[in-house]
């Protein structure tokens, strides 16, 4: 009541000094009725006293969210700190370890770009203020369940947005949001390897804190003589969004996606309960968290994953540049057809990068429990095709290692991940590549994409069919297109480090256009939600497929008030981001 009176009075003042539009008034009314979340500056936004009280509750672990570009702004911007921010602006690491800033170039946007502050030479593009944009306003450095409970309670009672930020790798941008309180899980790094016992699985497992990253997980498992499925990128959050959205990586072809290996989640629900979700307890929540979309059902504190006995791993890589498009795309088709064979070899996976100008790079193929000669044998039919086309690789190397993590470190070394790229993807069904009459339609899409000089595409092949992985349809809500896919096609467009919001909007439109083109040639396919755009027209069918309705039920059961909200989370369309960044109920 009093909150709404306060807003009413503020609005009146606003009307006198400026021109408050009708939509402002409507937004204010909506906030009063609990239909919109408060934003900083609203009279209903928690007072400093309330934030201080929250800070006491969480033992001083509350952090004010500061955009990384901040040193370039203010009444006395710091020139040397600003040039340092400019230097690191396209690097991922500073954004990964930050409590609120995110890797996604699109979602971080230019609202506090280090290139447009008061020190910048170009008056036309100069911004005087660093605005918070989509960067969360506050974060709690979560160390235990009590801090997460305090966070969800505070967000609920004060009608503000809540989200979980782990590494900030998220491509659809689900770890950022205007006016949000972020639960920052990055520092929950615990891990234990133990023997898990249940009706459905008894064997070795890793219980890992939500903040554990891919390489950290590989190392923990290796130290105990195990290997475990996790992502290709060493810094992705293995205990966070990676597993909740599916999770592919170099061992998927043997053990499946991350979501195929889950045993248990320790969570805090948005009503403040500290629960275990497994096949025995809170089954529906366990099911949804195993691939049904990140950051939407509960706050995860730890996850328990199956691990597997380690052993020798063979690897191979190959790079060529073929400027003649005819030959290049023939070679690309030959590689895709060769995948029809290698994907039937247990434990074989391959990750390939395609760049404009005829660059083809098999970053590495992985063959578990195989020798150098085995992997060479599997690749030889493709080598012959390259020979026949007169293509000579500039890199062609095969090497075996005694354990998986040694293989991984060797072949991953030197990979540089930059932020200035907008990404989308499509799962490519085996049936399309097997059909010579259909393959040219796919090649035309690749030709289109690679004609853009700032494009990149990836062909990530691993067989995650139910037969291979050892589970059945519906065991988890991973998009079923994964099971028949020969490979995941990722693609992106790079932007200049100084890209403006409008340019980033255009890049996003380009990538959505590519997702549509791939969709047209793969009507039976789908997309991998964790690496797709947040606003694709066909998100519901193409990111969730047949599991959508069931996931929505779980969402409504565990978070009926949509305390957690993200796009394209299941049910997110009941809410909408308005032009001013305000999150409001649609109906
Ligand atoms: C460079 C790069 C490489 C990638 N490589 C791979 C890859 O090899 N394989 C692959 O499958 N994917 C990959 N991805 C995609 C990756 O899986 C997603 O970005 C994923 O969402 C990352 O999860 P995160 O926790 O690290 O990131 P964040 O952005 O911090 O979080 C992502 C989502 O998970 C939610 N979340 C995180 N932690 C929790 C928690 N504890 N409880 C509840 N919700 C949580 C967040 O709210 C958000 O919705 C890559 C992405 C990038 C940018
Ligand atoms: C929370 O408290 C700690 C320790 O008392 C302090 O260092 C920190 O700045 C406070 N956070 C905020 C947002 O005020
Ligand atoms: C400016 O930033 C640098 C770090 O880049 C710091 O060492 C210095 O103290 C800052 N100067 C002021 C006046 O804050
Ligand atoms: C910058 O912010 C200040 C204080 O919030 C405000 O008074 C001023 O109008 C803003 N300037 C611009 C150009 O947006
Ligand atoms: C996966 O491998 C099996 C044989 O192990 C094969 O029958 C199946 O077609 C493969 N699936 C895909 C999608 O490649
Ligand atoms: C790559 O090297 C192997 C030997 O390790 C060789 O047999 C093969 O022909 C080479 N491939 C190509 C395409 O040159
Ligand atoms: C993206 O950033 C990298 C690293 O700063 C830079 O080399 C590259 O040119 C940028 N891409 C574009 C298209 O500007």
pLDDT tens digit string along 507-540? 999 999 999 999 999 999 899 999 999 999 999 9
Q: Find out whether 504 and 105 touch, Cβ atoms under 8 Å.
A: yes
pLDDT at residue number 33: 56
Q: Find out whether 384 and 334 touch, Cβ atoms under 8 Å.
A: no
In eight-state DSSP terms, residue 418 is B
pLDDT at residue number 145: 98
pLDDT at residue number 30: 56
**pTM for this predicted structure:** 0.95
Q: Find out whether 259 and 483 touch, Cβ atoms under 8 Å.
A: no
Quote the tokens at residue 459. 């062909």
Distances (CA, A) of 407 to 51, 77, 349, 545: 47, 46, 13, 35
pLDDT at residue number 125: 82
In sequence order, the 6+-apart residues with CB closer than 8 A to the CB of 305 are 205, 206, 208, 228, 229, 243, 258, 261, 262, 263
Residue that wins the pLDDT comparison between 7 and 79: 79
User: Residue 357: which of 427, 487, 453 has the closest Cα?
Assistant: 453
What residues form DSSP beta bridges with 306? 205
- Looking up tokens 């799962």 gives 427
Residue 28 pLDDT class (50, 70, 90 cuts): low
With 0-12 / 13-18 / 19 or more C-beta atoms within 10 angstroms meaning exposed / middle / buried, residue 349 is buried
Helix, strand and coil content of the chain, in percent to the nearest 5, comes to 35, 20, 40
Mean pLDDT of 192-210: 98
User: Residue 65: which of 80, 51, 76, 85 has the closest Cα?
Assistant: 51
- Ligand 2 contacts (CB < 6 A) are 55, 60, 62-64
Lowest mean per-residue pLDDT among 11-25, 451-465, 522-536? 11-25
With 0-12 / 13-18 / 19 or more C-beta atoms within 10 angstroms meaning exposed / middle / buried, residue 405 is buried
Ligand nearest to the CA of 335: 6
Q: Is ligand 3 within 6 A of the CB of residue 78?
A: yes
Q: CATH 3.40.462.20 residue ranges in the chain?
A: 313-545
Percent of the chain at pLDDT exceeding 90? 92
Mean pLDDT of 200-207: 98
The enclosing H or E element of 109 equals: none
Distance, CA of 520 to CA of 499 (rounded, Å):
30
Pairing mode of beta strands 348-355, 395-401: unpaired
Ligand nearest to the CA of 82: 3
Residue 62 in this model has a pLDDT that exceeds 60: yes
With 0-12 / 13-18 / 19 or more C-beta atoms within 10 angstroms meaning exposed / middle / buried, residue 391 is buried
Pairing mode of beta strands 138-141, 180-184: parallel
Residue 27 pLDDT class (50, 70, 90 cuts): low
pLDDT at residue number 31: 57
Q: Which atom of ligand 4 is nearest to the CA of 128?
A: 13
Residue 365 pLDDT class (50, 70, 90 cuts): very high
pLDDT at residue number 47: 98
- Domain 313-545 belongs to what architecture? 3-Layer(aba) Sandwich (3.40)
- Ligand 1 contacts (CB < 6 A) are 103, 163-171, 174-175, 185, 210, 231-233, 236-237, 240-242, 244-245, 247-249, 294-295, 299-300, 417, 530-531, 566
Distance, CA of 234 to CA of 414 (rounded, Å):
12
Residue 419 pLDDT class (50, 70, 90 cuts): very high
Q: From the CA of 417, how far away is ligand 7's center (Å)?
A: 11
Mean pLDDT of 345-364: 98
pLDDT at residue number 29: 54
What is the spatial order of strands in the sheet that 485-494 belongs to? 395-401, 313-321, 359-368, 348-355, 455-462, 485-494, 421-429
Mean pLDDT of 564-574: 98
Residue 23 in this model has a pLDDT that exceeds 50: no
Best mutation site among 433, 467, 486 for ligand 5 pocket (most ligand atoms within 8 Å of CB): 467
Q: Which atom of ligand 5 is nearest to the CA of 346?
A: 5
Residue 229 pLDDT class (50, 70, 90 cuts): very high
Q: Is ligand 5 within 6 A of the CB of residue 344?
A: yes
The enclosing H or E element of 102 equals: none
The tens digit of pLDDT for each residue in 279-297 reads 999 999 999 999 999 999 9
Nearest CA to ligand 1 atom 38: 240
Mean pLDDT of 116-139: 92
User: Residue 332: which of 308, 360, 304, 312 has the closest Cα?
Assistant: 360
The tens digit of pLDDT for each residue in 325-340 reads 999 999 999 999 999 9
- Averaged pLDDT score across all residues of the chain: 94
DSSP letters spanning 538-560:
THIIIIIGGGHHHHHHHHHHH-T
Ligand nearest to the CA of 456: 7
């Amino acid at each position: 009541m009093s909150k709404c009176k306060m807003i009413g009075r503020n609005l009146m003042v606003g009307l006198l000094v400026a021109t408050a539009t009708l939509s402002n008034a409507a937004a204010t009314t909506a906030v009063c009725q609990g239909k919109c979340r408060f934003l900083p500056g609203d009279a209903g936004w928690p007072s400093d006293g309330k934030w201080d009280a929250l800070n006491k509750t969480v033992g001083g672990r509350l952090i004010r969210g500061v955009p990384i570009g901040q040193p370039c702004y203010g009444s006395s911007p710091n020139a040397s700190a600003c040039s340092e921010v400019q230097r690191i602006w396209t690097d991922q690491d500073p954004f990964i370890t930050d409590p609120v800033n995110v890797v996604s170039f699109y979602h971080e946007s230019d609202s506090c770009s280090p290139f447009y502050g008061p020190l910048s030479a170009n008056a036309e593009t100069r911004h005087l203020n660093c605005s918070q944009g989509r960067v969360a306003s506050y974060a709690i450095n979560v160390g235990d369940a009590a801090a997460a409970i305090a966070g969800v309670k505070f967000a609920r009672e004060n009608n503000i947005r809540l989200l979980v930020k782990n590494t900030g790798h998220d491509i659809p941008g689900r770890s950022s949001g205007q006016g949000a309180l972020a639960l920052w899980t990055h520092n929950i790094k615990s891990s234990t390897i133990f023997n898990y016992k249940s009706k459905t699985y008894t064997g070795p497992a890793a219980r890992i804190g939500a903040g554990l990253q891919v390489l950290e997980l590989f190392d923990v498992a290796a130290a105990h003589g195990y290997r475990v499925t996790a992502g290709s990128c060493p810094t992705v959050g293995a205990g966070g969004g990676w597993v909740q959205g599916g999770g592919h990586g170099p061992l998927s072809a043997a053990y499946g996606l991350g979501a195929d290996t889950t045993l248990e989640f320790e969570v805090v629900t948005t009503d403040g309960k500290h629960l275990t979700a497994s096949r025995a307890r809170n089954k529906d929540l366990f099911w949804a968290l195993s691939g049904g979309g990140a950051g939407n059902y509960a706050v995860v504190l730890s996850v328990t994953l199956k691990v597997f006995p380690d052993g020798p791993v063979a690897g191979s890589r190959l790079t060529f540049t073929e400027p003649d498009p005819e030959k290049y795309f023939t070679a690309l088709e030959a590689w895709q057809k060769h995948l029809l064979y290698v994907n039937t070899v247990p434990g074989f996976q391959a990750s390939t990068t395609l760049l404009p100008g005829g660059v083809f790079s098999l970053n590495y193929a992985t063959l578990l429990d195989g020798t150098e000669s085995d992997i060479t044998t599997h690749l030889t039919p493709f080598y012959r095709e390259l020979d026949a086309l007169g293509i000579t690789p500039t890199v062609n190397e095969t090497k075996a290692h005694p354990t998986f993590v040694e293989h991984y470190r060797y072949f991953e070394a030197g990979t540089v991940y930059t932020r200035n790229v907008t990404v989308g993807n499509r799962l490519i069904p085996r049936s399309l590549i097997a059909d010579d009459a259909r393959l040219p339609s796919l090649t035309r899409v690749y030709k289109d994409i690679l004609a853009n000089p700032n494009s990149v595409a990836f062909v990530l092949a691993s067989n995650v069919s139910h037969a291979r992985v050892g589970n059945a349809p519906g065991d988890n809500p991973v998009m079923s297109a994964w099971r028949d896919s020969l490979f995941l096609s990722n693609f992106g467009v790079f932007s200049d480090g100084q890209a403006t919001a409008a340019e980033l909007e255009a890049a996003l439109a380009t990538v959505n256009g590519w997702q549509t083109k791939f969709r047209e040639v793969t009507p039976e396919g789908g997309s991998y939600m964790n690496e797709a755009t947040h606003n694709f027209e066909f998100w519901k069918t193409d990111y969730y497929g047949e599991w959508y309705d069931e996931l929505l039920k779980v969402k409504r059961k565990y978070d009926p008030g949509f305390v957690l909200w993200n796009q394209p989370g299941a049910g997110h369309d009941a809410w909408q981001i308005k032009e001013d960044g305000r999150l409001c109920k649609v109906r």
